[in-house]
């Protein structure tokens, strides 16, 4: 197995099996818990793709998430109960770009791991169980429809993107979910759930070689020609859809969200570097140590909910700023002023150097979370960002990089604002 | 992993857990008092005021800069409610000093910053007035903002209605009317009393606990008396009550509150813990299987217990149209348990699941500390091994006996007034 040293004195053991599956093991001494996550490089953005010899296929929104729900269905017994019988638990999630199945357990780690591989590789889709799931997913979508954070983000994505599927909810819509058929689910499963398109990460106090051997020997043999689909993203115009939009919801006070749309043009180390530079830059605006935050807070334009984030995936990238506020227009004006001042050369070296210390500490601290670490290792594999070099790259990022990233990416021509306003809650 | 206990002075206990397992050092301090409306509101303001500034770090910005210099040290404060006690919590976390340049020095500096922020707020004989005025507004917004998270809101509403005549009905952050009436001096005086006269328990997990203990002992010395606290009120369930609240929501939230008559010091406490697990603590539990998997009525449904006051709460996100059916299925599950319709498998899986999550706490510094809170309140700390043993010993008869004491008190539903026949779920 290839050994990749990561900061904090740990090592990731990595191997690609003959069937194409990437296996990555992070041993952590003294820990009782084992955490395993099997991920498919397949998420809500993958709704249109080309199959060699077949042409272009387009499927209803929400299908990756629907499949995630259905893989828990077994011909006999229940996946949940199986993990429970070992004292462990199992779960799954779907994002824009990946579907992940995970377990955590203290005992029977080997059985749990083997069974994770087994159930994800054994779909059991019937007319009846697919229909039944629609009621559950509908309630999940309705739950999100009542979440202000979710609603404001969805509305912002619709403002920023004309065509790109990032403008749609990961779970799809009630209508699209209702339209999904067994045949479509099976087809997407067969196309994307190929070992060559998947990665397994295991964290715990275990032997990496034995773990890898267990995966090799127990990974189910599957029919299929391997992974050959080509994902198709629509031509997304540079422009935004609309610069400002408002939605009403039964909440206590307005919420403001500003978004900037970027070209997802970075790969590998460059992507990591941009992520770090941009995250440092945004901290100069929303960080509690920033002058900007102090000004906005004292002017009562933001509260503790104020944050900003930069999200860059290989196929989509954007930045957002958000806060609850009584005065969305006034906040927008002040924030625009702050952003322009920083873009115009306001990034100070001393501030950047101090924030770099903070990022250094946060990285080491994050290693105590198996979930977070495993996710980063998975993302590193699928996206090619060298996570293990994080501290090195952090050390190399300069004030000029931060200045450059802010100037380059916070382009007002490609920005939009989404507002939630309270509607009388008790109606 | 267990803590060693040290008495630092009257009413001050220090608990240390020495380990090099984590990349961080975690420290939490808890001050408890009886839950009363005026004190609750007063105390809820404290965390908001502390983060604004201290004597040495007079602004949020100064605090944040110091924490960043300490490689992402993290200070936080919050207010919790356990039974009929309100707890003021301070927590501090930093990267394991062994992983940092000049670690020993940083550890001392970090703990000094921790106690400085927690105990020496900016102001002269009271809180700095502009901070006080602004944070009072922020707390009011927080209280009004509870409605933004529909599930949390429904749980708080159900509890308030159910325990309206008992201290437990008081929300952990108080109520808006009381907050509005608070004066700076009153809040400050109460805060000083909390620091000096009320029980203080400090927990440290990490690799330099001896040095940490030394530093902390010096910081907290000089406390005087110890206030004697009350035990929670026990109340019999009366005739079941029903409350409905109308709001413009997509999804209805149903909450059913039961009285258990069983608390932490009681013999049947662990039987109740297991009973709750069988009923609704896991994905293999009766509620999940019957409400979600079989009837497709909900995406989330589960139960939890409050082990200090003696409550069991069931909550579910459903379509308002399915209310009657959901209530019926839920009551049937409770009845089944009271009448002993529990399989060996359900009992064993649940015990294993609970034991596994107890053992998993060894893997998280925060969990290791937080699990002791109920023990702190009841003045009886229990080890993980002791709890595991108690859970192992739970029998089917014990579970049934515990469930027989469980009585429905209050049913509450948050729903759209126009749900029936409108929009979704009519076909």
A95-112 pLDDT, tens digit each = 999 999 999 999 999 999
How close does chain B come to A186, measured CA to CA in Å? 21
Q: Which has the minimum average pLDDT: A7-11, B186-190, B284-288?
A: A7-11
A75 is catalytic: no
Interatomic CA distance for residues B296 and A135, integer angstroms: 5
Tell me how close the Cα of A126 comes to any Cα of chain B, in angstroms: 15
Query: Is A324 in the B-facing interface, judged by CB distances under 8 Å?
Result: yes
Q: Which of B63, B93, B247 comes nearest A426 by C-beta?
A: B247
Note the pLDDT tens digit of each residue in B343-352: 999 999 999 9
- Beta-bridge partners for B32: B87
Asked if residue A210 is part of any domain, the answer here is yes
pLDDT band, residue B51 (cuts 50/70/90): very high
Q: How many CB pairs under 8 A join A and B?
A: 192
Residue B425 has pLDDT above 70, yes or no: no
Selected for mutation to probe chain A from B19, B21, B23 (highest A CB count within 10 Å) is B23
Confidence of residue B25 (pLDDT cuts 50, 70, 90): very high
Name the closest residue on chain B to residue A304, using Cα atoms: B138
pLDDT tens sequence across A174-201: 999 999 999 999 999 999 999 999 999 9
Is A177 found in the same domain as A49?
A: yes
- At the fourth CATH level, the homologous superfamily of domain B241-415 is Metalloenzyme, LuxS/M16 peptidase-like (3.30.830.10)
Range of the domain at A133: 2-221
Does any domain span residue A365? yes
Burial A180-199 (b: 16+ CB within 10 A, else e): beeebbeebbebbbbbebbb
Q: Has residue A227 been placed in a domain?
A: no
Q: Which of A86, A354, A370 sits opposite B65 (nearest CB)?
A: A354
Average pLDDT estimate for A58-62: 96
Pair A315, A253 in one domain: yes
Question: Residue A345 domain-assigned?
Answer: yes
Interface subset of B 60-89, CB within 8 angstroms of A? 60-61, 63-65, 67-73
Domain segments of chain B as ranges: 4-220, 241-415
> Residue B175: helix, strand or coil by DSSP?
coil
> Residue A72 contacts by C-beta under 8 Å, 6 or more apart in sequence?
A78, A79, A80, A90, A92, A119
| Strand runs labelled E in A181-265 | 198-204, 230-231, 244-249, 255-262
pLDDT digits (tens, 9 = 90+) for B360-370: 999 999 999 99
Please check whether residue A145 touches B, CB under 8 A: yes
Say if A322 is an interface residue toward chain B (CB within 8 Å).
no
CB contact under 8 A, A297 and B360: no
Give B274's pLDDT tier (boundaries 50, 70, 90): very high
CB environment B57-81: b (16+ within 10 A), e (fewer): bbbbbbbbbbbbbbbbbbbebebeb
Residue B419 pLDDT > 80: no
pLDDT of residue B426: 30
Q: What is the mean pLDDT of residues A212-221?
A: 93
Place of tokens 């910005």: B61
pLDDT number for residue B396: 98
CA–CA separation, B196 and B220 (whole Å):
9
Residues A57 and A163 in one domain: yes
CB contact (8 A) between residue A135 and residue B297:
yes
* Lowest mean pLDDT segment, chosen from A57-61, B37-41, B223-227: B223-227
A229, part of any domain: no
Q: What is the pLDDT of residue A426?
A: 57
DSSP conformational letter for A216: H
CA distance B231 to chain A (A): 34
E strand or H helix at B201, and its extent?
strand B200-206
Query: Is residue A351 situated within a structural domain?
Result: yes
SS3 content of chain A, % helix, strand, coil (to 5): 45, 20, 35
Interface of A with B in 153-192 (CB under 8 A): 174
For A288, the closest of B64, B247, B359 (CB atoms) is B64
Lateral strand order in the sheet of B200-206 = B4-9, B12-18, B200-206, B24-34, B85-95, B74-82
Residue A232 lies in a domain: no
Interchain CB distance below 8 Å, B73 and A361:
yes
Q: Give the pLDDT score at B225.
A: 64
Coil, strand or helix: which one is A131? helix
Residues A214 and A254 both lie in one domain: no
Tally of structural domains, chain A: 2
Nearest residue, CB atoms, B251 vs list A86, A139, A425: A139
pLDDT of residue B423: 34
Task: List, for residues B211-255, the tens digit of each pLDDT value.
Answer: 889 888 888 887 776 788 887 777 888 899 999 999 999 999 999
Helices (H), B198-343: 209-220, 269-276, 286-287, 323-338
The mean pLDDT value of chain A amounts to 94
pLDDT at A224: 65
| Marked catalytic residue, from A10, A58, A68, A175 | A68
Q: Is B140 on the interface with A (CB under 8 A)?
A: no
How do beta strands B241-246 and B407-415 pair? parallel
Q: Which of B68, B150, B369, B388 to mutate to test the interface with A (most CBs of A within 10 A)?
A: B68
Are B352 and A85 within 8 A, CB to CB?
yes
Query: Among residues A221, A254, A275, which one ends one of the domains?
Result: A221
| Residue A387: per-residue pLDDT | 85
Task: Sort out which chain B residues have CB atoms less than 8 A from A421's CB and list them.
Answer: none
CB A287 within 8 A of CB A293: yes
Identify the H or E element spanning A51: strand A48-51
| Contact between chains at A368 and B134 (C-beta distance less than 8 A) | no
Can you read off the two tokens belonging to residue B416? Answer: 């759209």
Q: State whether A265 and A349 are in the same domain.
A: yes
The CATH number of B4-220 is: 3.30.830.10
Residues A193 and A88 in one domain: yes
Q: CB distance B356–A87 less than 8 Å? A: yes
Does residue B177 surpass a pLDDT of 90? yes
Are residues A292 and A356 located together in one domain of the fold? Answer: yes
* Shortest CA distance from B318: residue in chain A: A139
Q: Which two tokens stand for residue B76?
A: 């936080």
CATH number of the domain to which A351 belongs: 3.30.830.10
pLDDT at B427 over 80: no
| Tens-place pLDDT, residues A127-163 | 999 999 999 999 999 999 999 999 999 999 999 999 9
Q: Spell out which residues of chain A touch residue B362, defining contact as CB-CB under 8 Å.
A: 32
The reply to whether A191 and A281 lie within a common domain is no
Query: Which element (helix H / strand E) includes A339?
Result: helix A328-341
- Point out the residue among A145, A357, A426 whose CB comes nearest to the CB of B246: A426
Q: Do domains B4-220 and B241-415 have the same CATH topology?
A: yes
Average pLDDT in the B305-330 region?
Answer: 96
Quick one: pLDDT at residue A270?
93
């Amino acid at each position: 197995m290839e050994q990749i040293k990561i900061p904090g004195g740990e090592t990731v053991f990595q191997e690609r099996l003959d069937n194409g599956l990437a296996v990555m093991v992070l041993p952590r001494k003294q820990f009782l818990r084992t955490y395993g996550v099997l991920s498919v490089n397949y998420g809500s953005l993958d709704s249109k793709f080309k199959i060699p010899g077949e042409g272009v296929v387009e499927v209803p929104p929400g299908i990756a998430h629907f499949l995630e729900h259905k893989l828990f269905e077994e011909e006999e017994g229940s996946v949940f109960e199986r993990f429970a019988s070992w004292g462990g638990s199992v779960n799954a999630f779907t994002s824009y770009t990946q579907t992940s199945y995970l377990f955590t357990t203290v005992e029977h780690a080997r059985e749990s791991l083997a069974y994770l591989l087994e159930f994800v590789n054994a779909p059991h889709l019937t007319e009846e169980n697919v229909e039944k799931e629609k009621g559950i997913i509908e309630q999940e979508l309705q739950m999100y429809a009542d979440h202000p954070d979710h609603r404001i983000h969805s509305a912002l994505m619709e403002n920023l993107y004309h065509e790109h599927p990032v403008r749609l909810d990961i779970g799809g819509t009630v209508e699209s979910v209702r339209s999904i058929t067994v045949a479509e689910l099976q087809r997407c499963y067969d196309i994307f759930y190929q070992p060559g398109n998947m990665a397994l990460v295991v964290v715990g106090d275990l032997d990496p070689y034995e773990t890898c051997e267990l995966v090799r020997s127990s990974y189910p043999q599957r029919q299929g020609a391997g992974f050959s689909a080509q994902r198709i993203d629509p031509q997304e115009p540079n422009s935004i859809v609309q610069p400002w939009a408002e939605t009403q919801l039964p909440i206590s006070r307005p919420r403001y969200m500003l978004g900037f749309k970027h070209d997802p043009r970075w790969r590998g180390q460059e992507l990591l570097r941009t992520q770090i530079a941009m995250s440092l830059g945004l901290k100069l605006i929303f960080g509690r140590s920033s002058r900007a935050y102090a000004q906005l807070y004292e002017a009562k334009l933001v509260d503790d909910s104020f944050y900003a984030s930069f999200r860059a995936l290989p196929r989509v990238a954007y930045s957002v700023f958000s806060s609850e506020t009584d005065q969305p227009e006034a906040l927008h004006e002040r924030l625009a002023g702050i952003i322009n001042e920083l873009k115009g050369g306001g990034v100070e070296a001393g501030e950047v150097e101090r924030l770099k210390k903070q990022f250094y500490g946060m990285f080491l601290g994050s290693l105590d979370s198996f979930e977070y670490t495993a996710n980063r290792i998975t993302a590193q594999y699928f996206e090619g960002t060298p996570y293990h070099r994080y501290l090195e790259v952090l050390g190399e990022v300069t004030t000029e990089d931060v200045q450059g990233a802010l100037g380059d990416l916070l382009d007002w021509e490609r920005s939009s604002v989404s507002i939630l306003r309270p509607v009388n809650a008790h109606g | 992993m267990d803590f060693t206990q040290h008495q630092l002075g009257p009413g001050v206990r220090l608990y240390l857990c020495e380990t090099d397992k984590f990349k961080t050092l975690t420290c939490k301090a808890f001050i408890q008092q009886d839950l009363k409306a005026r004190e609750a509101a007063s105390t809820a303001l404290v965390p908001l005021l502390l983060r604004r500034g201290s004597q040495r770090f007079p602004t949020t910005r100064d605090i944040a800069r110091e924490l960043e210099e300490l490689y992402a040290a993290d200070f936080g404060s919050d207010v919790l409610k356990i039974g009929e006690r309100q707890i003021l919590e301070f927590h501090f976390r930093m990267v394991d000093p062994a992983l940092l340049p000049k670690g020993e020095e940083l550890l001392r500096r970090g703990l000094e910053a921790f106690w400085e922020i927690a105990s020496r707020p900016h102001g002269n004989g009271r809180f700095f007035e502009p901070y006080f005025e602004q944070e009072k507004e922020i707390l009011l917004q927080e209280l009004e903002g509870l409605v933004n998270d529909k599930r949390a809101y429904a749980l708080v509403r159900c509890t308030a209605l159910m325990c309206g005549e008992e201290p437990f009905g008081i929300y952990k952050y108080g109520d808006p009317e009381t907050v509005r009436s608070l004066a700076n001096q009153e809040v400050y005086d109460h805060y000083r009393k909390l620091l000096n006269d009320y029980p203080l328990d400090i927990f440290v997990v990490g690799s330099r606990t001896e040095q940490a203990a030394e530093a902390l002992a010096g910081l907290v010395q000089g406390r005087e008396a110890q206030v004697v606290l009350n035990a929670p009120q026990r109340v019999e369930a009366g005739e079941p009550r029903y409350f409905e609240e109308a709001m413009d929501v997509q999804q209805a939230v149903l909450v059913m509150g039961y009285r258990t008559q069983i608390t932490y010091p009681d013999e049947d406490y662990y039987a109740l813990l297991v009973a709750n697990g069988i009923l609704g603590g896991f994905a293999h539990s009766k509620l999940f299987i019957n409400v979600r998997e079989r009837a497709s009525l909900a995406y989330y449904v589960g139960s939890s217990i409050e082990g200090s006051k003696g409550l069991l709460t069931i909550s579910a996100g459903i379509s308002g149209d399915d209310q009657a059916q959901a209530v019926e299925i839920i009551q049937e599950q409770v009845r089944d348990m009271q009448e002993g319709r529990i399989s060996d498998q359900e009992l064993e899986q649940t015990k294993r699941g609970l034991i596994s999550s107890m053992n998993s706490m060894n893997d998280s510094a925060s969990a290791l500390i937080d699990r002791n809170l109920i023990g702190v309140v009841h003045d009886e700390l229990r080890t993980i091994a002791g709890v595991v043993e108690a859970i192992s010993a739970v029998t089917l008869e014990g579970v049934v006996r515990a469930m027989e004491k469980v009585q429905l008190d209050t049913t509450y539903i948050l729903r759209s007034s126009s749900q029936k026949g409108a929009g979704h779920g009519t076909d």
